[in-house]
Copies of this chain bind each other. A is one copy, B any other.
């Protein structure tokens, strides 16, 4: 929106104190956790610590970006000691995860016994009662969906959700189907994960997009990006009949293995509709089991609080209402209100023997990536674009004789995004006459051109507001001849 490509946090506070920043800790490699790194690391050159798979996903991302080629993260090995508070990252308590590595509850309990100063815990699903389902349930569901499909299957998911890709490949292999990857970010991540041993590829299952054309549809599965309806993603281009290599065929089944992130609902909905219009069968979260959430629900959040027994608690990750819901859970479990801190971005929390308090609030974003430059919320340029989007622009070119201060030629009026030409045929000549009359009556042009310019802008604004009920941006050019 408004030409903005990405929104990242403002790290200027950290950059100014970079000698005291010990590192950036990445809990896992999903896009909302690593996406800002290519923009932050060139300013804040500190160590990045990440688990091994996240390390691989970060490496792919940094390599894609010219500014960060050569910069690298440091993989964290399990069992190595770092002295930090407990931060859950995104978590759920899954006793049967895809990769078999279950959550280490015992170590959490051990820390709880030793005494935890601060717990920062995932709040995204703090509104949801009960437990989040295991990834295992989904494996069976995907297997059935692919097994039952009469023709080709396309599965869309997040490019960084390697465990889901594994599940799709397993299901494809079990039904003797070949798999090809569509979408560059997905292909890059899959090769990285395979190389690092995080993807277990059954022999001869993964083939190129070109090779898979040689197989009949019911022997094939495509894995694509676009599960959030991202406008330039593979699935959306397929849905819009705009993809170079893939188009919907009679008998296709499309599985959207994700839930819309808040704000993406309409994009996802439009993508589903366009796939249906082309005759595909579409399985999505409202009508089929095609995704389970990656965040802990209330009972798991309570379990985490209960195991770690923190002295202080900061709910993190989620909208303000999620943080409040998580704080309420902690309070209901008996944590003292004075130990629970619902923070806004930039709040500085100071913990001491006597207690904790928010001591200041520093600037922490958002920062808008606007093509090659960055902007913050005070940006005049973004405000101008907002105004242009609403009412367009009207350009007035006023020529004045430098000697007499009188109009040298009639004022020219041009516009973009304002109204149709047919609607301004009558309006603009009248505006031109109005401005010429205004300039004629003013004698101060030679001394105060800025003043005349402002008078012209104001008069034009009033005229267009009265006559056309709009408030376009008005660009005034005064030319002296």
Interface, chain A (partner B; CB < 8 A): 1-3, 127-128, 262-263, 265-266, 269, 272-273, 276-277, 282, 284, 286-287, 319-321, 324-325, 371-373, 375, 379-382, 384-393, 395, 397, 399, 408-409, 412, 414, 416-420, 423, 468-470, 473, 475, 477, 479, 481
Q: Is the CB of A381 within 8 A of B276?
A: no
Known: A276-B324, A469-B372. A388 touches B393 (CB 8 A): yes
The residue on B at minimum CB distance from A282 is B321
Q: Which single member of B262, B276, B325, B416 contacts A393 (CB below 8 Å)?
A: B416
Known: A416-B473, A419-B381, A473-B416. A272 touches B321 (CB 8 A): yes
A417 to B128, CA, bound (A): 42
Q: Count the copies.
A: 2
**Closest chain B CB from A202 CB (angstroms):** 34
Query: Which of A3, A386, A387, A481 has the most B CB atoms < 10 Å from its CB?
Result: A3
Known: A272-B321, A287-B127, A381-B418. A397 touches B479 (CB 8 A): yes
Q: Which single member of B379, B390, B412 contacts A385 (CB below 8 Å)?
A: B390
The residue on B at minimum CB distance from A382 is B417
A375 to B420, CA, bound (A): 9
**Closest chain B CB from A315 CB (angstroms):** 13
**Closest chain B CB from A258 CB (angstroms):** 16
Q: Is the CB of B381 within 8 A of A412?
A: no
Q: Which single member of B272, B373, B389 contacts A389 (CB below 8 Å)?
A: B389
Q: Is the CB of A379 within 8 A of B477?
A: no
**Closest chain B CB from A57 CB (angstroms):** 27
Known: A273-B319, A321-B269. A392 touches B399 (CB 8 A): no
A286 to B479, CA, bound (A): 60
Q: Which single member of B263, B320, B371, B414 contacts A469 (CB below 8 Å)?
A: B371
Q: Is the CB of A416 within 8 A of B320?
A: no
Q: Is the CB of A395 within 8 A of B392?
A: no
**Closest chain B CB from A393 CB (angstroms):** 5
**Closest chain B CB from A415 CB (angstroms):** 8
The residue on B at minimum CB distance from A467 is B372
A384 neighbours in B (Cβ, 8 Å): 392, 416-417
Q: Which single member of B287, B325, B412 contacts A479 (CB below 8 Å)?
A: B412
Known: A320-B276, A381-B420, A414-B475. A392 touches B388 (CB 8 A): yes
Known: A417-B381, A423-B373, A468-B372. A393 touches B475 (CB 8 A): yes
Nearest 3 pairs of A and B residues by beta carbon: A389-B389, A384-B417, A388-B388
A381 neighbours in B (Cβ, 8 Å): 392, 417-420
Known: A3-B391, A418-B381. A470 touches B371 (CB 8 A): yes
A386 to B324, CA, bound (A): 37
A470 neighbours in B (Cβ, 8 Å): 3, 371
Known: A416-B384, A479-B397. A262 touches B262 (CB 8 A): no
A419 neighbours in B (Cβ, 8 Å): 373, 381
Q: Which single member of B266, B325, B423, B473 contacts A262 (CB below 8 Å)?
A: B266
**Closest chain B CB from A466 CB (angstroms):** 12
A269 to B419, CA, bound (A): 34
A408 neighbours in B (Cβ, 8 Å): 481
Known: A127-B286, A273-B319, A395-B475. A389 touches B2 (CB 8 A): yes
A277 neighbours in B (Cβ, 8 Å): 320
Q: Is the CB of A387 within 8 A of B320?
A: no
A262 to B387, CA, bound (A): 26
A128 neighbours in B (Cβ, 8 Å): 286
Q: Is the CB of B416 within 8 A of A475?
A: yes
A3 neighbours in B (Cβ, 8 Å): 389-392, 470
Q: List 7 A-B contacts (CB under 8 A).
A: A1-B389, A372-B468, A381-B417, A385-B389, A386-B389, A387-B416, A399-B481
